[in-house]
Chains A and B, each alone.
Chain A
Protein backbone atom coordinates (compact mmCIF):
# COMPACT_ATOMS: atom_id res chain seq x y z
CA UNK A 1 0.00 0.00 0.00
CA UNK A 2 0.98 3.59 -0.39
CA UNK A 3 2.56 6.07 1.96
CA UNK A 4 0.64 9.03 3.41
CA UNK A 5 2.60 12.23 2.99
CA UNK A 6 2.16 16.01 3.18
CA UNK A 7 2.84 17.48 -0.24
CA UNK A 8 1.92 20.33 -2.59
CA UNK A 9 0.09 19.67 -5.86
CA UNK A 10 3.17 20.53 -7.90
CA UNK A 11 5.46 18.21 -5.95
CA UNK A 12 2.86 15.43 -6.10
CA UNK A 13 2.96 15.74 -9.90
CA UNK A 14 6.78 15.76 -9.90
CA UNK A 15 6.78 12.59 -7.78
CA UNK A 16 4.31 10.93 -10.17
CA UNK A 17 6.61 11.86 -13.06
CA UNK A 18 9.58 10.38 -11.19
CA UNK A 19 7.66 7.13 -10.77
CA UNK A 20 6.52 7.15 -14.41
CA UNK A 21 10.14 7.78 -15.48
CA UNK A 22 9.43 9.11 -19.00
CA UNK A 23 12.05 8.84 -21.75
CA UNK A 24 11.94 12.54 -22.59
CA UNK A 25 10.70 15.71 -20.89
CA UNK A 26 10.89 19.05 -22.66
CA UNK A 27 9.62 22.01 -20.68
CA UNK A 28 9.88 25.73 -20.16
CA UNK A 29 9.19 27.26 -16.74
CA UNK A 30 6.00 29.24 -16.15
CA UNK A 31 4.19 30.10 -12.93
CA UNK A 32 2.46 28.25 -11.29
CA UNK A 33 3.71 25.03 -12.92
CA UNK A 34 7.44 25.91 -12.67
CA UNK A 35 8.02 23.86 -9.51
CA UNK A 36 7.02 20.66 -11.30
CA UNK A 37 9.95 20.75 -13.69
CA UNK A 38 12.20 22.35 -11.08
CA UNK A 39 11.65 19.38 -8.79
CA UNK A 40 11.76 16.90 -11.66
CA UNK A 41 15.07 18.33 -12.88
CA UNK A 42 16.59 17.46 -9.47
CA UNK A 43 15.44 13.86 -10.00
CA UNK A 44 17.20 13.92 -13.37
CA UNK A 45 20.37 15.44 -11.88
CA UNK A 46 20.37 12.92 -9.02
CA UNK A 47 19.99 9.99 -11.40
CA UNK A 48 16.61 8.96 -9.94
CA UNK A 49 15.11 8.82 -13.44
CA UNK A 50 16.49 7.94 -16.87
CA UNK A 51 14.77 10.87 -18.52
CA UNK A 52 16.39 13.03 -21.16
CA UNK A 53 15.48 16.53 -19.97
CA UNK A 54 15.39 19.04 -22.82
CA UNK A 55 15.55 22.67 -21.68
CA UNK A 56 14.09 24.73 -24.47
CA UNK A 57 13.64 28.44 -25.19
CA UNK A 58 9.83 28.59 -25.19
CA UNK A 59 6.71 26.50 -24.68
CA UNK A 60 6.24 26.34 -28.45
CA UNK A 61 9.63 24.63 -28.57
CA UNK A 62 8.80 22.50 -25.54
CA UNK A 63 5.77 20.99 -27.25
CA UNK A 64 7.68 20.73 -30.54
CA UNK A 65 10.43 18.75 -28.82
CA UNK A 66 7.81 16.57 -27.12
CA UNK A 67 6.24 15.85 -30.51
CA UNK A 68 9.60 14.93 -32.04
CA UNK A 69 10.54 12.71 -29.12
CA UNK A 70 7.16 11.00 -29.12
CA UNK A 71 7.30 10.37 -32.87
CA UNK A 72 10.81 9.00 -32.37
CA UNK A 73 9.28 6.41 -30.07
CA UNK A 74 9.64 7.74 -26.53
CA UNK A 75 7.25 8.11 -23.62
CA UNK A 76 7.07 11.88 -23.27
CA UNK A 77 5.78 14.28 -20.62
CA UNK A 78 5.73 18.01 -19.93
CA UNK A 79 3.98 20.63 -17.81
CA UNK A 80 2.83 24.19 -18.34
CA UNK A 81 0.32 26.93 -17.44
CA UNK A 82 -1.56 29.83 -18.96
CA UNK A 83 0.49 31.77 -21.55
CA UNK A 84 2.70 28.72 -21.88
CA UNK A 85 -0.22 26.60 -23.05
CA UNK A 86 -1.36 29.48 -25.25
CA UNK A 87 2.07 29.54 -26.92
CA UNK A 88 1.87 25.78 -27.42
CA UNK A 89 -1.52 26.04 -29.08
CA UNK A 90 -0.34 25.44 -32.63
CA UNK A 91 1.68 22.41 -31.57
CA UNK A 92 -1.14 20.93 -29.44
CA UNK A 93 -3.08 20.26 -32.64
CA UNK A 94 -0.02 18.65 -34.20
CA UNK A 95 0.48 16.29 -31.25
CA UNK A 96 -3.14 15.13 -31.45
CA UNK A 97 -3.27 15.09 -35.26
CA UNK A 98 -0.19 12.84 -35.36
CA UNK A 99 -1.78 10.71 -32.63
CA UNK A 100 1.14 11.05 -30.22
CA UNK A 101 0.31 10.11 -26.61
CA UNK A 102 2.19 12.97 -24.92
CA UNK A 103 1.01 13.51 -21.34
CA UNK A 104 1.06 17.02 -19.88
CA UNK A 105 0.12 18.55 -16.57
CA UNK A 106 -1.68 21.86 -16.93
CA UNK A 107 -1.60 23.93 -13.77
CA UNK A 108 -4.57 26.18 -14.51
CA UNK A 109 -3.92 29.91 -14.57
CA UNK A 110 -5.63 32.98 -16.01
CA UNK A 111 -4.65 34.38 -19.41
CA UNK A 112 -3.36 37.93 -19.93
CA UNK A 113 -4.24 40.83 -20.24
CA UNK A 114 -4.12 42.21 -17.62
CA UNK A 115 -1.35 39.92 -16.49
CA UNK A 116 -2.28 37.63 -13.62
CA UNK A 117 -0.54 34.54 -12.30
CA UNK A 118 -3.41 33.02 -10.32
CA UNK A 119 -5.72 30.12 -10.94
CA UNK A 120 -8.62 30.05 -13.34
CA UNK A 121 -9.60 27.72 -16.15
CA UNK A 122 -9.22 30.01 -19.17
CA UNK A 123 -6.09 28.20 -20.35
CA UNK A 124 -7.51 24.68 -20.32
CA UNK A 125 -10.87 25.72 -21.72
CA UNK A 126 -9.08 27.55 -24.53
CA UNK A 127 -7.42 24.26 -25.47
CA UNK A 128 -10.75 22.43 -25.43
CA UNK A 129 -10.81 21.79 -29.18
CA UNK A 130 -7.14 20.86 -29.65
CA UNK A 131 -7.87 17.13 -29.72
CA UNK A 132 -6.36 16.41 -26.31
CA UNK A 133 -8.01 14.32 -23.63
CA UNK A 134 -8.62 16.44 -20.53
CA UNK A 135 -8.82 15.11 -16.97
CA UNK A 136 -9.56 17.66 -14.22
CA UNK A 137 -8.50 17.28 -10.59
CA UNK A 138 -9.93 18.65 -7.35
CA UNK A 139 -6.80 18.24 -5.21
CA UNK A 140 -3.23 16.94 -5.13
CA UNK A 141 -4.37 13.34 -4.70
CA UNK A 142 -6.59 13.46 -7.75
CA UNK A 143 -3.91 15.22 -9.81
CA UNK A 144 -1.36 12.54 -8.85
CA UNK A 145 -3.82 9.71 -9.53
CA UNK A 146 -5.03 11.26 -12.79
CA UNK A 147 -1.50 11.70 -14.13
CA UNK A 148 -0.65 8.04 -13.59
CA UNK A 149 -3.92 6.95 -15.19
CA UNK A 150 -3.48 9.43 -18.06
CA UNK A 151 -0.41 7.51 -19.24
CA UNK A 152 -2.47 4.34 -19.62
CA UNK A 153 -5.38 6.17 -21.26
CA UNK A 154 -3.30 8.16 -23.77
CA UNK A 155 -1.18 5.16 -24.79
CA UNK A 156 -4.12 2.73 -25.11
CA UNK A 157 -4.22 1.06 -28.54
CA UNK A 158 -7.80 2.20 -29.19
CA UNK A 159 -6.92 5.81 -28.39
CA UNK A 160 -3.36 7.03 -29.01
CA UNK A 161 -4.10 10.65 -28.19
CA UNK A 162 -2.30 13.21 -26.03
CA UNK A 163 -3.76 13.92 -22.62
CA UNK A 164 -3.60 16.81 -20.19
CA UNK A 165 -4.24 16.64 -16.47
CA UNK A 166 -5.54 19.91 -15.02
CA UNK A 167 -5.34 21.24 -11.47
CA UNK A 168 -5.91 24.69 -10.02
CA UNK A 169 -2.92 27.02 -9.91
CA UNK A 170 -1.74 28.00 -6.39
CA UNK A 171 -4.94 26.76 -4.69
CA UNK A 172 -3.74 23.20 -5.32
CA UNK A 173 -0.31 23.56 -6.94
CA UNK A 174 1.22 25.43 -3.98
CA UNK A 175 -0.87 24.22 -1.03
CA UNK A 176 0.33 21.37 1.15
CA UNK A 177 -2.21 18.60 1.56
CA UNK A 178 -2.27 15.09 2.88
CA UNK A 179 -1.99 12.58 0.07
CA UNK A 180 -1.25 8.90 -0.40
CA UNK A 181 1.66 8.13 -2.71
CA UNK A 182 1.87 4.68 -4.26
CA UNK A 183 5.09 2.64 -4.09
CA UNK A 184 7.39 3.18 -7.11
CA UNK A 185 7.23 -0.43 -8.31
CA UNK A 186 3.43 -0.48 -8.14
CA UNK A 187 3.24 2.58 -10.40
CA UNK A 188 5.83 1.13 -12.76
CA UNK A 189 3.92 -2.16 -13.08
CA UNK A 190 0.63 -0.29 -13.52
CA UNK A 191 1.80 1.89 -16.42
CA UNK A 192 3.81 -0.89 -18.07
CA UNK A 193 6.23 -0.42 -20.91
CA UNK A 194 5.50 2.08 -23.67
CA UNK A 195 5.06 0.42 -27.04
CA UNK A 196 5.49 3.05 -29.75
CA UNK A 197 3.69 2.80 -33.08
CA UNK A 198 5.79 3.58 -36.15
CA UNK A 199 8.72 5.09 -34.22
CA UNK A 200 10.97 7.25 -36.39
CA UNK A 201 14.02 5.64 -34.79
CA UNK A 202 13.01 2.29 -36.29
CA UNK A 203 15.22 2.87 -39.32
CA UNK A 204 14.42 -0.56 -40.75
CA UNK A 205 10.85 0.63 -41.31
CA UNK A 206 11.02 4.27 -42.39
CA UNK A 207 7.80 6.33 -42.27
CA UNK A 208 6.71 9.89 -42.96
CA UNK A 209 5.07 11.95 -40.20
CA UNK A 210 3.16 15.13 -41.01
CA UNK A 211 2.61 14.89 -44.77
CA UNK A 212 0.55 17.41 -46.72
CA UNK A 213 -3.03 16.15 -46.82
CA UNK A 214 -5.39 18.11 -49.06
CA UNK A 215 -9.21 18.16 -49.22
CA UNK A 216 -9.25 14.65 -50.72
CA UNK A 217 -8.20 12.96 -47.43
CA UNK A 218 -8.13 15.57 -44.65
CA UNK A 219 -11.62 14.89 -43.27
CA UNK A 220 -10.94 11.17 -42.97
CA UNK A 221 -8.07 11.84 -40.54
CA UNK A 222 -10.25 14.21 -38.48
CA UNK A 223 -12.98 11.57 -38.37
CA UNK A 224 -10.41 9.11 -37.00
CA UNK A 225 -9.57 11.51 -34.17
CA UNK A 226 -13.22 11.73 -33.20
CA UNK A 227 -13.47 7.95 -33.30
CA UNK A 228 -10.54 7.66 -30.90
CA UNK A 229 -12.27 10.10 -28.56
CA UNK A 230 -15.39 7.91 -28.63
CA UNK A 231 -13.34 5.07 -27.11
CA UNK A 232 -11.96 7.21 -24.30
CA UNK A 233 -14.89 6.85 -21.88
CA UNK A 234 -14.62 3.05 -21.81
CA UNK A 235 -10.86 3.13 -21.42
CA UNK A 236 -11.06 5.74 -18.63
CA UNK A 237 -13.43 3.46 -16.70
CA UNK A 238 -11.36 0.33 -17.42
CA UNK A 239 -8.14 2.04 -16.25
CA UNK A 240 -9.95 3.45 -13.19
CA UNK A 241 -11.08 -0.04 -12.21
CA UNK A 242 -7.50 -1.33 -12.36
CA UNK A 243 -6.27 1.75 -10.53
CA UNK A 244 -8.71 1.08 -7.72
CA UNK A 245 -7.10 -2.32 -7.23
CA UNK A 246 -3.69 -0.77 -6.57
CA UNK A 247 -4.85 2.34 -4.70
CA UNK A 248 -8.24 1.65 -3.14
CA UNK A 249 -9.46 4.93 -4.67
CA UNK A 250 -12.31 4.85 -7.16
CA UNK A 251 -12.70 7.15 -10.15
CA UNK A 252 -15.39 7.58 -12.76
CA UNK A 253 -16.10 9.95 -15.64
CA UNK A 254 -17.26 12.44 -13.01
CA UNK A 255 -17.93 12.52 -9.28
CA UNK A 256 -21.35 13.00 -7.75
CA UNK A 257 -21.94 14.23 -4.22
CA UNK A 258 -25.36 13.77 -2.54
CA UNK A 259 -26.89 13.98 -6.02
CA UNK A 260 -29.17 10.90 -6.03
CA UNK A 261 -32.31 12.59 -4.68
CA UNK A 262 -31.23 16.20 -5.30
CA UNK A 263 -33.68 18.74 -6.72
CA UNK A 264 -30.95 21.35 -6.94
CA UNK A 265 -27.62 20.51 -8.54
CA UNK A 266 -24.35 22.36 -8.76
CA UNK A 267 -21.90 21.50 -11.54
CA UNK A 268 -18.37 22.69 -10.87
CA UNK A 269 -14.80 21.65 -11.72
CA UNK A 270 -11.71 21.23 -9.58
CA UNK A 271 -10.94 22.79 -6.19
CA UNK A 272 -14.17 24.80 -5.84
CA UNK A 273 -16.04 21.48 -5.70
CA UNK A 274 -14.53 20.86 -2.25
CA UNK A 275 -15.90 24.16 -0.96
CA UNK A 276 -19.32 23.41 -2.47
CA UNK A 277 -19.49 19.98 -0.82
CA UNK A 278 -19.12 21.54 2.66
CA UNK A 279 -21.88 24.05 1.96
CA UNK A 280 -24.09 21.30 0.50
CA UNK A 281 -23.75 19.43 3.82
CA UNK A 282 -24.96 22.54 5.70
CA UNK A 283 -28.00 22.88 3.44
CA UNK A 284 -28.72 19.16 3.61
CA UNK A 285 -28.81 19.49 7.41
CA UNK A 286 -31.52 22.14 6.89
CA UNK A 287 -33.47 19.76 4.67
CA UNK A 288 -32.56 21.28 1.29
CA UNK A 289 -32.16 18.59 -1.35
CA UNK A 290 -29.02 19.83 -3.06
CA UNK A 291 -26.17 17.88 -4.62
CA UNK A 292 -23.14 18.26 -6.85
CA UNK A 293 -21.61 16.89 -10.03
CA UNK A 294 -17.91 17.43 -10.59
CA UNK A 295 -16.75 16.49 -14.10
CA UNK A 296 -13.44 14.65 -14.26
CA UNK A 297 -13.29 13.85 -17.98
CA UNK A 298 -14.00 17.08 -19.85
CA UNK A 299 -12.72 15.99 -23.27
CA UNK A 300 -14.31 13.87 -24.49
CA UNK A 301 -17.37 15.05 -22.56
CA UNK A 302 -19.60 12.19 -21.32
CA UNK A 303 -22.92 13.81 -22.32
CA UNK A 304 -25.26 10.83 -21.82
CA UNK A 305 -23.84 9.82 -18.45
CA UNK A 306 -23.85 13.40 -17.13
CA UNK A 307 -27.42 13.94 -18.34
CA UNK A 308 -28.52 10.72 -16.66
CA UNK A 309 -26.89 11.72 -13.37
CA UNK A 310 -28.53 15.17 -13.50
CA UNK A 311 -31.91 13.99 -14.79
CA UNK A 312 -33.59 14.27 -11.37
CA UNK A 313 -32.62 17.91 -10.85
CA UNK A 314 -35.23 20.66 -11.24
CA UNK A 315 -32.62 23.41 -11.19
CA UNK A 316 -28.98 23.19 -12.22
CA UNK A 317 -26.39 25.88 -11.47
CA UNK A 318 -23.27 25.57 -13.59
CA UNK A 319 -20.23 27.32 -12.16
CA UNK A 320 -17.54 28.34 -14.64
CA UNK A 321 -14.04 29.51 -13.73
CA UNK A 322 -13.55 30.67 -17.33
CA UNK A 323 -15.30 33.17 -19.56
CA UNK A 324 -16.57 33.05 -23.07
CA UNK A 325 -17.17 36.76 -23.53
CA UNK A 326 -20.52 37.27 -25.12
CA UNK A 327 -21.38 33.62 -24.58
CA UNK A 328 -22.04 31.28 -21.68
CA UNK A 329 -19.25 29.73 -19.65
CA UNK A 330 -17.73 26.67 -21.35
CA UNK A 331 -19.08 24.18 -18.78
CA UNK A 332 -22.58 25.66 -19.06
CA UNK A 333 -22.53 25.02 -22.80
CA UNK A 334 -21.62 21.35 -22.23
CA UNK A 335 -24.25 20.81 -19.55
CA UNK A 336 -26.92 22.50 -21.73
CA UNK A 337 -26.00 20.18 -24.60
CA UNK A 338 -26.03 17.18 -22.26
CA UNK A 339 -29.50 17.97 -20.94
CA UNK A 340 -30.76 18.31 -24.50
CA UNK A 341 -29.71 14.72 -25.25
CA UNK A 342 -32.07 13.16 -22.69
CA UNK A 343 -35.00 15.55 -23.07
CA UNK A 344 -35.24 16.57 -19.42
CA UNK A 345 -35.74 20.28 -19.19
CA UNK A 346 -34.28 21.61 -15.96
CA UNK A 347 -34.08 25.33 -15.26
CA UNK A 348 -30.45 26.35 -15.55
CA UNK A 349 -28.28 29.22 -14.40
CA UNK A 350 -24.66 30.00 -15.17
CA UNK A 351 -22.30 31.64 -12.66
CA UNK A 352 -18.86 32.91 -13.57
CA UNK A 353 -16.58 32.79 -10.53
CA UNK A 354 -12.95 32.87 -9.43
CA UNK A 355 -11.37 34.53 -12.47
CA UNK A 356 -7.71 35.39 -11.98
CA UNK A 357 -7.65 33.53 -8.67
CA UNK A 358 -10.52 35.46 -7.01
CA UNK A 359 -11.39 33.40 -3.93
CA UNK A 360 -14.42 31.14 -4.13
CA UNK A 361 -15.79 31.23 -0.58
CA UNK A 362 -18.49 29.12 1.12
CA UNK A 363 -20.81 32.16 1.04
CA UNK A 364 -20.60 32.14 -2.77
CA UNK A 365 -21.82 28.55 -2.84
CA UNK A 366 -24.61 29.58 -0.43
CA UNK A 367 -25.66 32.42 -2.74
CA UNK A 368 -25.93 29.92 -5.59
CA UNK A 369 -28.01 27.44 -3.58
CA UNK A 370 -30.33 30.20 -2.31
CA UNK A 371 -30.86 31.40 -5.85
CA UNK A 372 -31.57 27.84 -7.04
CA UNK A 373 -34.17 27.49 -4.27
CA UNK A 374 -35.87 30.66 -5.48
CA UNK A 375 -35.79 29.50 -9.10
CA UNK A 376 -37.31 26.15 -8.05
CA UNK A 377 -40.10 27.90 -6.08
CA UNK A 378 -40.98 30.52 -8.70
CA UNK A 379 -40.19 28.45 -11.78
CA UNK A 380 -38.44 31.51 -13.20
CA UNK A 381 -34.81 32.30 -13.98
CA UNK A 382 -34.09 35.98 -13.43
CA UNK A 383 -30.56 36.19 -14.79
CA UNK A 384 -29.29 33.32 -16.89
CA UNK A 385 -25.61 34.23 -16.75
CA UNK A 386 -24.17 36.22 -13.87
CA UNK A 387 -20.98 36.71 -11.85
CA UNK A 388 -20.12 35.63 -8.32
CA UNK A 389 -18.03 37.90 -6.11
CA UNK A 390 -17.53 40.75 -8.56
CA UNK A 391 -17.80 44.37 -7.30
CA UNK A 392 -20.37 46.58 -9.02
Chain B
Protein backbone atom coordinates (compact mmCIF):
# COMPACT_ATOMS: atom_id res chain seq x y z
CA UNK B 1 0.00 0.00 0.00
CA UNK B 2 1.10 3.54 -0.73
CA UNK B 3 2.49 5.92 1.91
CA UNK B 4 1.36 9.52 2.29
CA UNK B 5 4.28 10.87 0.27
CA UNK B 6 3.28 8.81 -2.79
CA UNK B 7 -0.41 9.75 -2.86
CA UNK B 8 -1.86 12.62 -4.87
CA UNK B 9 -2.86 15.38 -2.42
CA UNK B 10 -6.51 15.84 -1.50
CA UNK B 11 -7.50 12.28 -2.45
CA UNK B 12 -7.95 13.38 -6.06
CA UNK B 13 -8.10 10.18 -8.06
CA UNK B 14 -8.61 9.01 -11.61
CA UNK B 15 -12.14 9.42 -12.92
CA UNK B 16 -14.38 6.38 -12.61
CA UNK B 17 -12.25 4.76 -9.93
CA UNK B 18 -15.39 3.42 -8.19
CA UNK B 19 -15.30 0.71 -10.85
CA UNK B 20 -12.23 -0.74 -9.11
CA UNK B 21 -14.09 -1.47 -5.88
CA UNK B 22 -16.33 -4.51 -5.59
CA UNK B 23 -18.98 -2.86 -3.45
CA UNK B 24 -21.34 -5.74 -4.26
CA UNK B 25 -19.96 -7.50 -1.19
CA UNK B 26 -22.16 -5.20 0.94
CA UNK B 27 -25.30 -6.92 -0.41
CA UNK B 28 -27.74 -8.81 1.84
CA UNK B 29 -30.37 -9.47 -0.84
CA UNK B 30 -29.57 -10.41 -4.44
CA UNK B 31 -31.78 -9.41 -7.38
CA UNK B 32 -32.58 -12.28 -9.72
CA UNK B 33 -33.47 -11.66 -13.35
CA UNK B 34 -36.19 -13.89 -14.80
CA UNK B 35 -35.73 -13.37 -18.51
CA UNK B 36 -39.03 -14.86 -19.71
CA UNK B 37 -40.94 -12.19 -17.72
CA UNK B 38 -38.77 -9.31 -18.99
CA UNK B 39 -40.34 -6.88 -21.51
CA UNK B 40 -37.04 -4.92 -21.92
CA UNK B 41 -38.57 -1.64 -20.70
CA UNK B 42 -35.18 -0.79 -19.05
CA UNK B 43 -36.89 0.69 -15.97
CA UNK B 44 -34.33 -1.25 -13.90
CA UNK B 45 -31.49 0.44 -15.76
CA UNK B 46 -33.05 3.89 -15.24
CA UNK B 47 -33.76 3.37 -11.55
CA UNK B 48 -30.54 1.61 -10.53
CA UNK B 49 -28.66 4.09 -8.30
CA UNK B 50 -25.38 2.43 -9.26
CA UNK B 51 -24.61 1.00 -12.71
CA UNK B 52 -25.39 -2.60 -11.92
CA UNK B 53 -27.67 -3.30 -14.91
CA UNK B 54 -25.60 -4.13 -17.96
CA UNK B 55 -27.11 -3.06 -21.25
CA UNK B 56 -25.95 -4.06 -24.72
CA UNK B 57 -27.57 -3.13 -28.04
CA UNK B 58 -30.48 -1.54 -26.16
CA UNK B 59 -31.27 -4.73 -24.22
CA UNK B 60 -30.53 -5.55 -20.63
CA UNK B 61 -28.36 -8.51 -19.70
CA UNK B 62 -27.16 -9.98 -16.40
CA UNK B 63 -26.64 -7.92 -13.24
CA UNK B 64 -23.17 -6.60 -12.46
CA UNK B 65 -23.03 -8.28 -9.06
CA UNK B 66 -19.66 -6.66 -8.28
CA UNK B 67 -21.45 -3.32 -7.92
CA UNK B 68 -25.07 -4.22 -7.05
CA UNK B 69 -25.66 -3.46 -3.35
CA UNK B 70 -29.04 -5.18 -3.28
CA UNK B 71 -31.18 -2.11 -2.64
CA UNK B 72 -34.13 -3.74 -4.41
CA UNK B 73 -35.28 -0.63 -6.28
CA UNK B 74 -35.14 -2.46 -9.62
CA UNK B 75 -37.36 -5.25 -8.26
CA UNK B 76 -39.82 -2.71 -6.88
CA UNK B 77 -40.04 -0.78 -10.18
CA UNK B 78 -40.08 -3.79 -12.51
CA UNK B 79 -43.53 -3.94 -14.23
CA UNK B 80 -42.91 -7.57 -15.35
CA UNK B 81 -45.16 -9.37 -17.82
CA UNK B 82 -48.82 -10.16 -17.11
CA UNK B 83 -48.35 -9.65 -13.36
CA UNK B 84 -45.21 -11.75 -13.17
CA UNK B 85 -42.07 -9.84 -12.02
CA UNK B 86 -38.89 -10.11 -14.07
CA UNK B 87 -36.77 -9.18 -11.02
CA UNK B 88 -37.17 -10.77 -7.59
CA UNK B 89 -35.02 -10.36 -4.46
CA UNK B 90 -33.50 -13.47 -2.91
CA UNK B 91 -31.67 -13.53 0.40
CA UNK B 92 -27.90 -14.02 -0.04
CA UNK B 93 -26.64 -17.42 1.06
CA UNK B 94 -29.91 -19.14 0.34
Min CB distance, A94 to chain B, in Å?
Answer: 10
Min CB distance, A201 to chain B, in Å?
Answer: 13
A198 — which chain B residues lie within 8 A by C-beta? 8, 12
The 3 closest A-B pairs by CB, nearest first: A206-B15, A99-B10, A220-B4
Q: Which of A208, A213, A223 has the most CB of B within 10 A?
A: A208
How far apart sit A98 and B3, CA to CA, in the bound complex (Å)?
18
Q: Smallest CB-CB separation from A209: which chain B residue?
A: B12
Q: Which of B2, B3, B9 has the most CB of A within 10 A?
A: B9
Contact A217 B7 (CB under 8 A): yes
B18 — which chain A residues lie within 8 A by C-beta? 208, 211
Q: Which of B4, B10, B15, B18 has the most CB of A within 10 A?
A: B10
Q: Smallest CB-CB separation from B7: which chain A residue?
A: A220
Contact A211 B10 (CB under 8 A): no
Min CB distance, A165 to chain B, in Å?
Answer: 22
The answer to the question of A97 belonging to the interface, with a C-beta cut-off of 8 Å to chain B, is yes
B7 — which chain A residues lie within 8 A by C-beta? 217, 220-221, 224
Q: Smallest CB-CB separation from A228: which chain B residue?
A: B9
The answer to the question of A227 belonging to the interface, with a C-beta cut-off of 8 Å to chain B, is yes
How far apart sit A211 and B18, CA to CA, in the bound complex (Å)?
8
The answer to the question of B93 belonging to the interface, with a C-beta cut-off of 8 Å to chain A, is no
Contact A221 B10 (CB under 8 A): yes
A-B contact pairs, 28 of them (CB 8 A): A97-B11, A98-B10, A98-B12, A99-B9, A100-B10, A206-B14, A206-B16, A207-B12, A207-B13, A207-B14, A207-B15, A208-B13, A208-B17, A209-B12, A210-B11, A211-B17, A211-B18, A217-B7, A217-B11, A219-B4, A220-B2, A221-B7, A221-B9, A221-B10, A223-B4, A224-B10, A227-B4, A228-B9
The answer to the question of A392 belonging to the interface, with a C-beta cut-off of 8 Å to chain B, is no
Known A-B contacts A98-B10, A99-B10; the reply to A208 vs B4 at CB < 8 A is no
The number of residues on chain A lying at the interface, defined by a beta carbon within 8 Å of a beta carbon of chain B, is 23
Interface residues on chain B, size class: 10 to 19
Chain A positions within 8 Å of B, measured between CB atoms, are 97-100, 160, 197-198, 206-211, 213, 216-217, 219-221, 223-224, 227-228
How far apart sit A361 and B12, CA to CA, in the bound complex (Å)?
50
How far apart sit A219 and B11, CA to CA, in the bound complex (Å)?
11
Helix, strand, loop or mixed for chain B's interface?
Answer: loop
How far apart sit A110 and B83, CA to CA, in the bound complex (Å)?
63
Known A-B contacts A216-B1, A220-B2; the reply to A208 vs B9 at CB < 8 A is no
B4 — which chain A residues lie within 8 A by C-beta? 219-221, 223-224, 227
Contact A97 B17 (CB under 8 A): no
Contact A213 B12 (CB under 8 A): no
Which residue in A97, A206, A219 is a CB contact (below 8 Å) of B10?
A97
How far apart sit A206 and B4, CA to CA, in the bound complex (Å)?
22
Known A-B contacts A220-B7, A224-B7; the reply to A208 vs B1 at CB < 8 A is no
How far apart sit A216 and B4, CA to CA, in the bound complex (Å)?
12
A228 — which chain B residues lie within 8 A by C-beta? 9
How far apart sit A114 and B54, CA to CA, in the bound complex (Å)?
57
With A208-B18, A221-B7 known, 11 other A-B pairs at CB within 8 A are: A99-B10, A100-B10, A160-B10, A197-B12, A209-B10, A211-B18, A217-B1, A217-B7, A220-B4, A223-B4, A224-B10
How far apart sit A197 and B15, CA to CA, in the bound complex (Å)?
15
B16 — which chain A residues lie within 8 A by C-beta? 206, 208
User: Which residues between 1 and 58 of chain B lie within 8 Å of chain A, taking CB atoms?
Assistant: 1-4, 7-18
Min CB distance, B9 to chain A, in Å?
Answer: 5
A160 — which chain B residues lie within 8 A by C-beta? 9-10
Contact A98 B11 (CB under 8 A): yes
Contact A220 B3 (CB under 8 A): yes
Contact A208 B15 (CB under 8 A): yes
B15 — which chain A residues lie within 8 A by C-beta? 206-208
How far apart sit A98 and B10, CA to CA, in the bound complex (Å)?
4
